[in-house]
Homo-oligomer: A and B are copies of this chain.
Amino acid sequence: MDVHVSLGRPGQLAADAYQQLRAAILDGRLRPDARLPATRDLARRLAVSRNTIVEAYERLIAEGFAVGRVGAGTFVTAAPPPPRPRRAPPHSPLVPRAIYRAAEPPPDARAPYDFALGVPDPALFPWDVWRGLIARQWRGRRPVVGYAEAAGDPALRAAIARHVGLARGIRAGADDIVITSGAQQAFDLIARAVLEPGQVAAVEEPGYPGARRALAAAGARVVGVRVDADGLDVTALPDDARLIHVTPSHQFPLGAPMSLARRVELLAWAEARGAAIIEDDYDSEFRFDGRPLEPLQCLDRRGHVLYVGTFSKVLSPSLRLGFVVAPGALAAALASAKACADGHAPIEPQRALAALIDDGQLARHVRRVGRIYRDRRARLLAALARELPELAIVPSVAGLHVSAIADRHVDTAALVARARAAGVAVHALAPYYAGRPRAGLALGYGLIPAPKIDAGVRRLAACLHDA
């Protein structure tokens, strides 16, 4: 028997040996019951350590291609696993539910001038600090045993309670908090826990599609309610709305904060009708003007508000960590829904985040990157005013993007496509409307470095003016 094995890639020697031996078995070069060379001999012939060959043989054995016989050596199995068709059955008579039938669009491709929405800058992520905290969790000194609390790691819940108390004035103890996989899961769990199928839920128009989608998936009839300069028009709420999703700090996507009067009015409306409110506070950590308005959660005395926060903007969406602060019995119900949905959040990242909060590094990080985003925002607003005076910028005081209303004759879809071809990624407002949209654009400054902002806006302006 002669096997040709050629090993090249350092660090991959055992993997190479395994793959070549496996290929030889599969294509018949090594026959069933053939004895493989002694590990010592093959290692010498290939000038590698014997461990490398032992490793390759062990994997062949583990995966059914070879068997070890005590005292005799390693042999190709009598019936190695046959080559398999490569795919699951390509057709199936099973029909998914209508709501899940549309293919998920791929994540947006990056652009040279990228005004992506709601994405923080990975270059600002505290890589070293986070790597240290995560690695510490995996040292195995306090090994995690089995399954954990559905509501989330107690240390993280306590840390978040303190953090949002200080940063946002939110009233919360650890027991009021449920850790979620980003804000999206918070919407999903709230919709599951609060809504019976067929009930009415209200969302802002325009509004955040992920929230609308989660409410619809729970079987709700979702009604869009118009937003004006003060936020959601409370008088336009359908009288039977059971659950209302709002973004009071930084309306998504328009950007205006909800006025205090409107906040009070919304709370009174919910109290009178026994409705629940989702306060989606997705990016208010970055505040650029004035004192923040009191969150609905702070104004709520009767237990109608579920406050949703996320670490996707202050740290990274890739972490998938968010939370809900829930009143009364709802925190326990959300934990129950979380257990049913996916058990609990991964443990080690929760503990790393708790440490990041507890030693003050998160607050410091937010302050540091907030200064950078403040600078980018000022440049973007100045560039828009200078290059695109025909757009009316929507006043805002927080967040990672700004919006601008265009003349209703502007074809923003075409503008966005032209801009993309010119290397500039911006979003039209239209996709955030369920009904008749206003013409306009939303531009994020989370991803684009300050020096590129002017050129990016100039290119965008050229796309509009050349049309």
- Show the binding face of A for B, using Cβ within 8 Å: 12, 14-15, 18, 55, 58-59, 61-64, 81, 84-97, 99-104, 106-108, 110, 116, 118-119, 122-123, 125, 127, 130-131, 134-135, 138-140, 143-151, 165-167, 169, 171-173, 175-176, 180-182, 184-185, 188, 192-197, 210, 213-214, 217, 219, 274, 276, 297, 300-304, 307, 316-320, 325-337, 339-349, 358-360, 363-364, 366-367, 447
Listed by A's residue number, 22 A-B pairs whose Cβ atoms lie within 8 Å are A58-B364, A63-B166, A86-B171, A91-B328, A92-B330, A96-B193, A97-B196, A101-B329, A104-B150, A104-B336, A127-B140, A146-B317, A181-B181, A181-B345, A182-B343, A184-B340, A185-B341, A188-B340, A188-B342, A192-B217, A214-B340, A214-B341
CA distance A92 to B329 in the complex (A): 7
Smallest CB separation, A341 vs chain B (Å): 5
Out of B96, B106, B276, B302, which one reaches A194, CB within 8 Å?
B96
- A358: chain B residues at CB < 8 Å are 15
- Expressed in whole angstroms, the minimum distance between the Cβ of A330 and any Cβ of chain B is 6
- Please tell me if the beta carbons of A97 and B194 are within 8 angstroms of each other in the complex: yes
* Contacting pair A96 B329 (CB below 8 A): yes
Interchain CB contact (< 8 A) of A348 among B97, B116, B318: B318
- With contact pairs A94-B304, A171-B88 given, residues A346 and B327 touching in the complex (Cβ less than 8 Å): no
Say whether, besides A89-B303, A134-B138, A363-B63, A317 and B147 are in contact (CB < 8 Å).
yes
A199 to chain B, nearest CB (A): 10
A330→B169 CA distance, assembly (Å)? 44
Known: A62-B367, A217-B340, A360-B14. A328 touches B87 (CB 8 A): no
Complex: chain B residue closest to A148, CB-CB: B107
A339 cross-chain contacts in B, Cβ below 8 A: 104, 184, 213
* Shortest Cβ distance from A303 into B: residue: B92
Minimum Cβ distance to chain B for residue A54 (Å)? 11
Q: Point out the residues of chain B lying under 8 angstroms from A364, CB to CB.
A: 55, 58-59, 62
- In the bound complex, do residue B343 and residue A346 qualify as a contact, i.e. CB atoms below 8 Å apart? no
- A139 contacts B150, C-beta separation under 8 Å: no
Knowing A59-B363, A318-B346, the reply to whether A192 touches B146 (Cβ < 8 A) is no
Count of identical protomers in the assembly: 2
Interfacial chain B residues near A185, Cβ < 8 Å: 341-343
Tell me which residues across on chain B come within 8 A of A197, comparing CB atoms: 197, 219
Given contacts A59-B364, A139-B127, contact A336 B274 (CB under 8 A): no
Q: In the complex, A108 Cα to B148 Cα: how many Å?
A: 9
Q: Is the CB of A55 within 8 A of B100?
A: no
Q: Contact: A343 with B88, CB < 8 Å?
A: no
13 more CB-based (< 8 A) A-B contacts, given A127-B140, A181-B345, A184-B340? A55-B360, A58-B367, A88-B171, A89-B171, A93-B304, A94-B330, A96-B194, A96-B336, A122-B143, A122-B144, A131-B135, A318-B346, A320-B346
In the bound complex, do residue A15 and residue B447 qualify as a contact, i.e. CB atoms below 8 Å apart? no
Complexed CA–CA distance, A319 and B122 (Å): 23
**Cβ of B332 and Cβ of A94 under 8 Å apart?**
no
Q: Which of A146, A194, A196, A210 has the most CB of B within 10 A?
A: A146
Q: Establish whether residues B213 and A340, one from each chain, have CB atoms under 8 Å apart when the complex forms.
A: yes
Cβ-defined contact, A15 with B131, below 8 A = no
Closest Cβ–Cβ distance, residue A55 to chain B (whole Å): 7
What is the distance, in angstroms, from A374's C-beta to the closest C-beta of chain B?
14
User: Please, which residue of chain B has its CB at the minimum distance from the CB of A322?
Assistant: B342
Among A12, A94, A104, A130, the one with the most B-chain Cβ atoms within 10 Å of its Cβ is: A94
Please, how many angstroms separate the alpha-carbon atoms of A166 and B185 in the complex? 34
Please indicate the chain B residues that have their CB under 8 angstroms from the CB of A18 in the complex: 360
Q: Which residue of B lies closest to A324 (CB)?
A: B88
Query: Looking at the complex, which one of B127, B144, B276 makes contact with A318 (CB distance below 8 Å)?
Result: B144
